[in-house]
Structures are given as structure tokens and as C-alpha cells.
Structure 1
Amino acid sequence: MPEYSFRAAAADGRVETGQVNAESADDAMRQLEDRLLLVFELKEAGAQPVRRSRGKVGHADLVVLIRELSTLANAGISLAEALETLKDASRDTPLQVPLGRMLTAIHAGEGFSTALGKTGLALPEYVFAMVRAGEATSNLGLALNRAADQMEFDAKMRSQTREALVYPIILVSTGSIAILFIFSFVVPRFAGLLKGRIQNLPWISEVVLRTGMFFNAHFVEAIVALVALVVGIVAASRNDALRLRIIEGAARLPIIGEWINSGETARWTNGLAMLLQSRVAILGALELAAGSVRLRQTAARLEDVRTQVNRGRKLSQAIEHQQLLEPTSLSMVRVGEQSGELGPMLQHVAHYWSDKNQSLQRRVVSLIEPASILILGVVIGFVMVGVVLAMTSLTEVKF
């Protein structure tokens, strides 16, 4: 049985090193986790530890970093020792430099939130607010854990959106290629049989055959145009301003708009719940919640809610005035206000809207699929009708 060397943090804050016998690396990891150890490095005896090469710090890296800091803080390990441990475990990874900056700031006597801000990491603003609240309440570990939860929630919402669009994009792409092939190679064969007498055919046949002849004669240009279209769509998807306009336009459509808006509602309610449970003041929490949504209209309505709350109005009343939640969710907010459990109740509201978003996502995908097939079928059917009419008209064409 292979032997694995490990380096991990124990629950009492000690950093342990040693060996464990296991059938695989996963088995070794499970054994160490059963011993309540937070593993930073694991390698088979005599082998080099597996580390990621230097590069860009991704969202997953940030979530893992915040989660590990939370675990170490909850274990009672000092910030300096925790950062030193993570820095040593992050050799040859993109996190080594940011962790070094944090460690330097901590040694200089600066607070953790200030040190975190000096890393240059692309962390959401609510993370810093939660960390500051955690420092103020001496509950930094819990605040970091909730920040990681919110980051994972945001990533989950984005991932669900991307996954929902994959199949429709593939369907539309393959359909477009099939149509291009039909017009470029199939239709021109029938056009050649008529030897330039297309004008005597029914208008449907004439349109189909002339379109096919055009694509056949300009096939290279058509391919270039198709590639340019794809490149343009990809470039547009990376343009934040243009992507926002497209999303805001889609948010006004039936069904698709419901899907987009439900995702926004899940995002801001979950963020507000996490911030309130981390002891962030409600005005600051509302400001950060407004900054977490993509739709400018929703952000403006949340800003108005913040203004009304600042003037002394209840949160539920302000939300009702802006029609941000439906009656059932609004009732849960009222219960949270009356019971003093606003954060947990908002968490329930967020879970409800997250589930609703997934349901609407499945509904949108189920509608896009038949719609795409219908459009493809109409185009191919139009081509077939044109070709059949042309063939049946051959006996009527005077040569």
C-alpha cells in the first residue's frame, strides 16, 4: 500500500507533518479529514507534490482561499500563522504573491480587512464588508465562511446560466451549418438541371434556387462571414456593457425575463441574508446587495429601498413599495422582522428563489429546443417545397 506524506493544520492550531498509508490520494485525504486535519500538501512518498502552475487567480481559487482562512480562524490559529501556512502551501501557485502581501501587512500591524484589500485579488466588495464586521464582532471565522458561501452561490448561479445555454447554442450552430450545406451543395445541383431558366419557375423555387446558387458561388465568403459572426458574438459576450444591454433586453421578455429576474432576486436576497447574519449594518448591506445584481433597474430599486429604510421605513414596507418580492416571500420578510431573525428568513427566501430560478431555467431550455427545431424545420421545409415545385415544373419549362 502506498505511503503519502502530508502537511496539515490540526484543530488546536498546530501544523502537523507525517505519513499515512492509503490506497490512493483520495483515500489518504479522507483519512486525514477524519482526523479533523486541514490538509495543505499531500504527496506520495518520494514524489513531488502536485501544485498548480503560476497563472491567473480564478474564482475557484478565491473561494478555496477564503474557505481555508475560515477553517484556520475557527481552529484558533493566529492570522499570521495561518497566512504563513497557506503561503508555504501555495508555492508555485498564483496565490503565493497575494498571500505574501497579506502576511507583510499583518506583520506591520494592519487589520485583516486592510491586509486583504492589499492583495489585489478580485474579491467581491461584500467579502470586505463581512470581514470588517467579523473583526468588529470577534467572529472572523464565521464571517469568512459566510463570505465563501456567498461566493459559491454566485458561482453556482453563473454556472447554471451557462449550462442552460450550452445545448441551445449547439442546436442552433449545427442547424445553421446544415442549412449552409444544403444551400451551398444540395440546392445548386437542382439549379444546374434548369440551365438558367429559373425565372419560369414558381417564386418559392426561384428564391430557393437563386439563394443556393449565391451560396455556391460565394461559399468562401459565406464561411468567412459565418466565422466573423461567431467571433463577433464571442467578442460581444466579453464586452460588459454590451452584454448588460442584451441581458436587460432579455429581462423584458416573457418567460426568459422571469428566469433572469428570479436569478437576480435569488442573488440579492442571499447576499443580504449573508451580510445581515455577519452583523453588517442594514444600510451597508442593502448598498452591497444593490451592487451585486446585474440589472440596473433592480439595483436602482434596491437603492430606493435603502433610502426608505434610512428614513425610518421597515424593510418589508420598502420592498413591498418597490415590488421586489411576491407576497409569499414578503410575508417571510415580515416574519423575520417581527421575530428578530431577518437574516435566516431572507436565507429561506433566497433558497426559494434559487429553486424557482432552476425551474424556470428548465422551462426556458424546454422551450428553446422545440423553437430551434421548428425554425430549422421551417427553413428545410421551405427548401424542400422549392425543390419539389421546381422538379414538378420541369415538364412545363420550355427548352
Structure 2
Amino acid sequence: MTISYRYKGLRADGGEVEGRISAADENDAVSQLSARKVTPFELIPDADAHRYERRKARPADRSRFLRQLSTLARAGAPLLTCFDSLIEDEPCREIAEQARLVRADLRGGSRLSASMMRRMPDLPDYAPRLVELGEATGSLPDRLTEVSKQMEADLAAAGEIRNALAYPAFLAIAGLVAVFFIFVAVVPRFSALLANSRGDIPALSRIVLSIGEFAGANAVPVLIGMVVVIVLGVRLVSAPATRRQLTAIAFRMPVIGRFLSAADSARWARVAGTALAAGAGLIDALSLAERGVLSPRRRAGLAEVRRAVRAGAMLEQALRAHTDMDTMTINLVRTGRLSGDLAGILLFVAETGETEARNLAKRVTALAEPLAVAFLAGIIGLVVVSLVLAMSSLYDFDIG
């Protein structure tokens, strides 16, 4: 954990300097200042440290910070003034500390794009590159705005998926609790009732009763095992390699795959269009855009597209040969190339893809809830049917 300190000190030339520094403790702060050839004569914990609302930054914090930075830059404020103002009111400790490091780099003569790449590693790959384009073309405020917009669009797409799956996830958890209760508290009672007639009941009923007996006799270990499996599953899903595999699987699913593909196409088109509008060359724009694509298969295809265009192929021909983009998108790209407004057409493709992704997200929501209910109803119904079969098999009904 780092602590923010205010300091006053003397430089090697005798000049006085003051500022803030983040360190693990007071000794660490003194060591850092000594490395900067500053001898501190006043070092106190930052009185504003308590003002931070949270320590770790969320993706929304990063997009908000860039949005605020673009607003101040658009108003004509110098970058150092922008960072001074934002740091003063930043509610997230991690963002504030990273911003201080960026400000220090700017004071030392570094470019904003290079400092962001080094000091803010959690930003999307396209963010520092678009900022670099803005620095090269004198359109930094516009590029910062476009980065924040793209990050907000990515957050919105992820939020739509989370919202679509939140209720089904709740149903799944509630269903697991209900099934656990049935096997621990209900099935063992039937098992005791049918203990003398186990050989006369159907195989399905015997399996269910055996599971119930085991769960009832080992309720605590079973519960602990379920918790351990869930925790391990969460950690496994959090691993980058597993997430890449799950992402590849999700892209092949019927409805979710279409949603992800539409969102991916929109993201690619927006970043490429934005880069072209900022004055980047076509190859640079394609290289930048492919970094924001989630699908490993499509990213590999777009890399082939970039190589084909560099070799002299038309963009729409390369897209048709190496990607699974739909015909309408490819035709629009061709129209943009022929009309000389490829950037504008790509931004239009992005808006169209984002609209399609939102509509598909609604379909995911509409399908996920009944599927979750049907799945849970099937499990509970299977248990109930097995118990009913077990009871009814003990009696012979002579009708007629």
C-alpha cells in the first residue's frame, strides 16, 4: 500500500522545491527524494489522502478521467494545468497516482502518449496510439474524446452482457441452493422410507436416492466442496488463457456469438475510422484497429488483411478473403474507398454495428431467462419424478 506525502526540500543547487510523492513509508519517500537529489526538510502525510473514494481503478474510472482530460484540453488549458486540476479532485487513488506520474513525465519533456503507455498500462491498446496521432496532427483534444467514447462504448457492450446474464445467474444460484436442500433434507427421508424396497424401484430413483443419502450424510463436506469448486472456477475463468478460450467459444455460440461479432466489427470500424480521420495512413489505421478486436480468429484474419493491403490488394477484397465480415459491411467499405470518404463510411459502419449489437443484447436477455428457468425446472423435475416413480413402483394398481 502506498501513502501520499507532501514534501518541501532543497535541490542540489540550493533551490527550494515542494510537491507530493507516493511511497510505502516515510523512509521510502526519503529514499526516492534522495534519488532525485532532493533533501527534504518537511515530509508529512498528505492530508487529502482520506478523500479518495476507492483505491483500485475501474474501467469506468479510466474512461471518465480521459473524458475530463479531453474536456479541459478542448477548452484550451495546457496539459500540465489539466493534470493539476484533475489530480486535485480525482476520487480514485490509483488514477490519481498514475496521473501524478504522467504529470512528472510531462514536466520532464515526455510526450503524453509515451507516458500514458508506460504509466497507465490498463488502458486499451488503441488509447496511447490515438493520442500519439493527436499529438502528431495537432488534434489531441479530439483524439482524447474519441478514446473516451470508444472506451465508454466497450463498457456499454460489456454492461449489456452482464445485465443480460445477471438474472439468469441469480436463478442458477437459487436453483443450486434449492437442489442442495432437496438432496440434503428431502431425498434422505424418502430413502429411509424405501430402505427395504430398494430393489423394486426404477434405476433412476435408485441413483437419486443414493445421491441424497451421500449428500445428507456429508452435507458440510459437500457444501465446502461446492464453494471450493466455485472459487476455483472463478479463478480459472480469470486466467488470461482461459478467458481467451472462453471468448473463442462464445464467438461460436448462436446468439451470443452474433452479438460479440457485431460488437467486434463495430469496434474495429470505429477505431479504424477514427484513426483515418485523425490523419493516419491506412496501414497504421488497420494495425491500430485490429488490436481492439476480441476474437482471436478475427484478429488473425485482420492481420492478414493488413498484409494483403500492404501488398497492394484493395481493402474490401482483403476483408472478403480473410474475414467473416458480412457483405453489407464489405460493400460499404468499397463505397468509402471509391468515394474517398473511407473514414466516414467506417464510422457509419461502427454506428450500424453498435445498433445491431444492442438489439442482439436484448435477444440474449430474452433467451437467457427462460433457458435458465427451464434448466432448473428440468433438474428439480427430474428429482421429483424419480421420487414419484419410486413411491408408485411399490404399489400395484389393478384397474378394470
Mark yes or no: TM-score above 0.5: yes
Give the match for residue 106 of structure 1. 106
Give the match for residue 180 of structure 1. 180
Give 1:1-399 correspondences, 5 Å limit. 51-53=51-53, 55-90=55-90, 93-395=93-395
Distance change in 2, residues 1:108/1:214 (3 Å): closer
Conserved 8 A contact 2:54-2:93: yes
Distance change in 2, residues 1:180/1:308 (3 Å): same
1:214-261 deviations in whole A, cap 9, x for unaligned? 221222222122112211221122111111112212322333322332
Conserved 8 A contact 1:275-1:285: yes
Please identify, of 116-125 and 190-199, the stretch whose mean Cα deviation from structure 2 is larger: 116-125
Conserved 8 A contact 2:298-2:323: no
Aligned residue for 1:256, secondary structure, equals: helix
What is the CA distance between 1:142 and its match in structure 2?
Answer: 0.9
Q: Distance in 2 between matches of 1:322 and 1:290?
A: 13
Conserved 8 A contact 2:55-2:92: no
Q: Percent identity?
A: 32
Residue type of the alignment partner of 1:326: D
Which contiguous aligned blocks of 4+ residues in structure 1 show a shift greater than 6 angstroms? none
Q: Distance in 2 between matches of 1:194 and 1:324?
A: 59
What TM-score, normalized by structure 1, do the two folds share?
A: 0.80
Residue type of the alignment partner of 1:137: T
Conserved 8 A contact 2:53-2:91: no
Residue type of the alignment partner of 1:322: H
Q: Distance in 1 between matches of 2:247 and 2:156?
A: 18
Q: Distance in 2 between matches of 1:52 and 1:178?
A: 41
Residue type of the alignment partner of 1:381: G
Conserved 8 A contact 1:71-1:141: yes
What is the CA distance between 1:302 and its match in structure 2?
Answer: 0.5
Aligned residue for 1:292, secondary structure, equals: coil
Could you tell me which runs of 5 or more consecutive residues in structure 2 were left unpaired when the two chains were aligned.
Answer: 1-47
What TM-score, normalized by structure 2, do the two folds share?
A: 0.80
Residue type of the alignment partner of 2:138: S
Number of residue pairs aligned between Structure 1 and Structure 2: 349
What is the CA distance between 1:299 and its match in structure 2?
Answer: 0.6
Conserved 8 A contact 1:98-1:121: no
Residue type of the alignment partner of 2:368: I
Give the match for residue 31 of structure 1. none
Conserved 8 A contact 1:101-1:118: no
Residue type of the alignment partner of 1:366: A
Residue type of the alignment partner of 1:196: N
1:302-326 deviations in whole A, cap 9, x for unaligned? 1011001111222222112224321
Q: Distance in 1 between matches of 2:161 and 2:168?
A: 12
Q: Distance in 2 between matches of 1:267 and 1:117?
A: 20
Distance change in 2, residues 1:84/1:387 (3 Å): closer
Could you tell me which runs of 5 or more consecutive residues in structure 1 were left unpaired when the two chains were aligned.
Answer: 1-47
Q: Distance in 1 between matches of 2:250 and 2:141?
A: 40
1:109-141 deviations in whole A, cap 9, x for unaligned? 333323433434422221211112111211111
Q: Distance in 2 between matches of 1:104 and 1:119?
A: 11
CA RMSD of aligned residues (A): 2.4
What is the CA distance between 1:384 and its match in structure 2?
Answer: 2.2
Conserved 8 A contact 2:54-2:91: no
